[in-house]
Structure 1
Amino acid sequence: MIYVETNSIIGSENLAFEEYFLKKEDIREPVLMLWRNRPTIVVGAFQNTHEEICEEFVKANKIDVVRRTSGGGAVYHDLGNLCFSFIMEHGDFTNTDYSAFLKPVVEALRGMGIQAGINGRNDLFLGDAKISGSAVRIYKNRVLFHGTLLFSSDLEILSRALRVKQDKLVSKGIKSVRSRVTTIAEHLSYDMDVLEFRERLLQALFGESGGKEYEISRNERREIMCLARDKYESFLWTYGKNPPADLTHGKRFGGGSITVKASLKNSRIEQIRFEGDFLGCMEMKDIEQLLNGVVYERDAVSRVFEELDIRPYFGTITKEEVVSCIMGDDRI
């Protein structure tokens, strides 16, 4: 395993490091990154940024906002949160089971006396509260699996910076964001700060075999910084386009929420867009292009999905659920 040290606490730069090494196909060994951000909201690839953040609070508190390339929901980072990233060749990964990626993290935490467990597909919990969320991005035959670890984050800021829809809270059976999360530090029986936690996690993930740190060249760092500036710091990438739509349908499923926004012309789909916190790991433009020009009628829309494996795009959300959301009905 290779370890990459970003030496950055800027969200746009750390996301650029991830993308650079995901697409660096000449590295065949697994890559590990452990990194932190200054106060930052990281929104999922398919989310509407304006709907996920409390903009007035975010601006007043100088919280950065960036968009990642993986699906899932918006998360709050600060220097009390530790992020982990694994990059490797993905083999037969189908985007329905994250346990193979999460188990090493769980084992490392338990080795420190932190009795974390996997809850659902992509979360780690301590007791009844969440300490980690994770997501995936696929590029060719390579996969990026990354997640958060709330070690000593300011949960009050977290709860005020993020805007969570009421239907999500109801579906989880909770009253507020704050009641749903906890920090690892709150559950420790001994003193440890986030930097010591980082070192102990690194040692545990490397194991007895150890690992080596990748030496980033000056040219590589320059390329990464350009990617951070040109993509991850751009308004268009972070906030996206919001063209007018003739119809908007939204639903929440077990695998996440989907909002469909579509424009129609002569009873055909002229343009369609999928938004939400569903755990897609590939670009939605593939699906959106297949639907453009299709008659807006259930059977015609269903035929588009007949021979398509939608798991890389929608995770555990089924074809029938996607079609029901597009059509705005309850037939599943």
Structure 2
Amino acid sequence: MQYYIMKSRDIRDNLATEQYLMNSPKIKLPMMLFYIEKPCIIVGRNQNTVEEINQAYCQEHDITVTRRLSGGGAMYQDLGNLCFSMIMPADQARFGNFAQLVQPVLLALHRMGAKKATVTGRNDIEIAGKKFSGNSMYTRQGRTFSHGTLMYRVDTTAVAQALRVPHDKIASKGIKSVRSRVTNIEPYLDRQYRGLSTDQFRDELVKQIWQVGDLGQIKKAAYELSAADRNAIAELRRRFYDNWDWVYGRSPMFTVQKRRHFTAGTIDARFLVEDGYIQSVKIYGDFFGTRDVVEVAEALKDVPYQPAAISRTLQQLKLNDYFMGIPQNEVIELLAQQH
């Protein structure tokens, strides 16, 4: 298994590097990536950025905001957080099976003392009922890519201030706030793994994953970027992660909002209706899917804004491809309901 440790502390560089390596024919699968970054928020592919973040707080505290290719919810990260990614052939990794792709990290944490850490819910790793890792997944061109966070020593106050977690999502988990639901993993590790810098924690984790005493023993497994690689990564950063249209998008004036939190994620649909016909639809949320929800929006365009017409259109689609784990009839019920 190959690995690459990113030197940049900028989330935009690191997401561009992930995207490039995922599609590069030069890497040998499976491959793991590790990176640390300055304060930032990464929203999921299908989310409405403006509604997910506290814009004023982010500007005041110089928090970078960008969007990733995969679904799921918004994540706050700072220099106390370690990110990890796994790239595998799609035929060896079932989409949505986070437990499989985070297994090397979970076993390493167990060896480091956090023996009660478990994969829970759709895509979290928790300990003592609190989340310290969120994960997301993306699949394209025969490869499946999963990336996640590891809160080692994150400022949990900033998590609560920077993100706007909807009340229905918090209520569904039986908690009072986002801060009460998260924790750092450091206190649960054996004493020798506490008090480390995040870089040192990363190195110890890598050694545990590969079961070696020194990183020099796996030097041949380390990937090195070429000049051509770096140029391609810089172009991806420009096209996506530094691109205002990609990160924020141009939101039309929606006249109808349909939102519901399901066990497998939240769907938030905005309809613009004129003369009884659907002119446009934007679908946001932290759900996962193997297909782009833009296709659902396109199918609904110019459809009469009537429950029967909307239902007929949606019944022709395999909605689980777009909203994995949410029953088709429940998606149709939400999107076809009238206000």
| Shift in alpha-carbon separation, 1:140–1:305, aligned structure 2, 3 A | farther
Q: Which residue of 2 aligns with 1:179?
A: 180
State the one-letter code of the partner of 1:152.
R
Tell whether 2:39 aligns with 1:39.
yes
- Which shows bigger deviation, 244-253 or 205-214? 205-214
Report the counterpart of residue 228 of structure 1 in structure 2. Answer: 237
Residue type matched to 2:75 in 1? Answer: V
What secondary structure is seen at the aligned counterpart in 2 of 1:157? helix
* Greater CA drift, 263-272 or 181-190: 263-272
**Deviation string for 1:68-95 (max 9, x for gaps)?**
1111111111111000111121117553
User: Which deviates the most, 5-14 or 192-201?
Assistant: 192-201
* Alignment TM-score, normalising by the size of structure 2: 0.91
Q: What are the within-5 Å matches in structure 2 for residues 264-275 of structure 1?
A: 264-275=273-284
Letter of the structure 2 residue corresponding to residue 247 of structure 1: V
Query: Larger relative contact order (C-alpha < 8 A, sep ≥ 6)?
Result: 1
2: CA distance, partners of 1:94 / 1:318: 19
Residue pair 2:133, 2:150 contacting (<8 A) in 1 also: yes
Partner of 1:256: 265
Supply the distance in 2 between the matched residues of 1:147 and 1:281 (Cα, whole angstroms): 18
Q: 2:326 & 2:338 partners in 1: Cα distance?
A: 16
Distance 1:27 1:286, change over 3 A: farther
Q: What residue number does 2:167 align with?
A: 166
**For the Cα contact (< 8 Å) 2:307–2:338, is it kept in 1?**
no
Measured after TM superposition, the shift of residue 60 of structure 1 is 0.8
What displacement does 1:97 show? 2.8
Pair 25,323 (structure 1): closer, same or farther in 2 beyond 3 Å: farther
CA, structure 1 residues 91+298, in 2 after alignment: closer, same or farther (shift >3 Å)? farther
- What SS is found at the alignment partner of 2:114? coil
Distance 1:26 1:294, change over 3 A: farther
Give 1:200's match in structure 2, choosing from 200, 204, 207: 204
> Is the deviation greater in 155-164 or in 84-93?
84-93
| Distance change (3 Å), C-alpha of 1:26 and 1:284 | farther
- For residues 181-330 of structure 1, the aligned pairs below 5 Å read 181-190=182-191, 191-193=194-196, 194-207=198-211, 212-306=221-315, 308-328=317-337
Q: For structure 1, which segment, 308-317 or 196-205, has the greater mean C-alpha deviation from structure 2 after superposition?
A: 308-317
Query: In structure 2, what residue type is equivalent to 1:197?
Result: F
- Residue 87 of structure 1 is matched in structure 2 by 87
Counterpart Cα distance in 2 of 1:253 and 1:236 = 28
Quick check: 1:249–1:260 contact (8 Å CA) kept in 2?
A: yes
More off after superposition, 128-137 vs 101-110: 101-110
* Cα displacement (A) at 1:171: 0.6
CA contact 1:94–1:312 (8 Å) conserved in 2:
no
What residue is the counterpart of 1:120 in the other structure? 121
Structure 2 distance, partners of 1:142, 1:244, is 37
Is the contact made by 1:259 and 1:325 (CA closer than 8 Å) also made in structure 2?
no
CA-CA distance at 1:2 after TM superposition: 1.5
1:157 CA drift (Å): 1.2
Aligned with 1:91: secondary structure? helix
Aligned-partner SS, 1:83 = strand
Spell out the pairing of 1:90-169 with structure 2 (5 A cutoff). 90-91=90-91, 93=93, 95-115=95-115, 116-169=117-170
> Aligned pair in 2 of structure 1 residues 205, 290: CA closer, same or farther (>3 Å)?
farther
Q: Map Cα deviations across residues 208-264 of structure 1 (whole Å, 9 max, x no partner).
A: 795611121111101101211232011111111101123211111111111111223
Deviation >6 Å, runs of 4+: none
Does structure 1 conserve the Cα–Cα contact (< 8 Å) formed by 2:308 and 2:336? Answer: no
1:227 is paired with a residue whose SS is helix
Distance 1:281 1:16, change over 3 A: farther
Q: Secondary structure at the match of 1:183?
A: coil
Partner of 1:13: 13
Alpha-carbon shift at residue 146 of structure 1 (Å): 0.5
Matched residues in 2 for 1:235 and 1:74: separation?
17
Measure, in 1, the Cα distance between the counterparts of 2:25 and 2:328.
Answer: 32
Q: Report the identity percentage.
A: 35
Which whole-Å deviations, capped at 9, do the CAs of 1:113-164 have from their partners, x for residues lacking one? 1121111121000111101010111112111100000001111111111111
Report the equivalent of 2:3.
Answer: 3
Q: State the distance in 1 between where 2:190 and 2:89 align.
A: 38
Unaligned runs of 5+ in 2: none
The letter of the residue matching 1:206 is W
Distance 2:95 2:288 in 1: 8
Where structure 1 has 5 or more consecutive residues not aligned to the other structure, the ranges are none
Q: Is the CA contact (8 Å cut-off) linking 1:131 and 1:149 kept in structure 2?
A: yes
For structure 1, which segment, 181-190 or 39-48, has the greater mean C-alpha deviation from structure 2 after superposition? 181-190
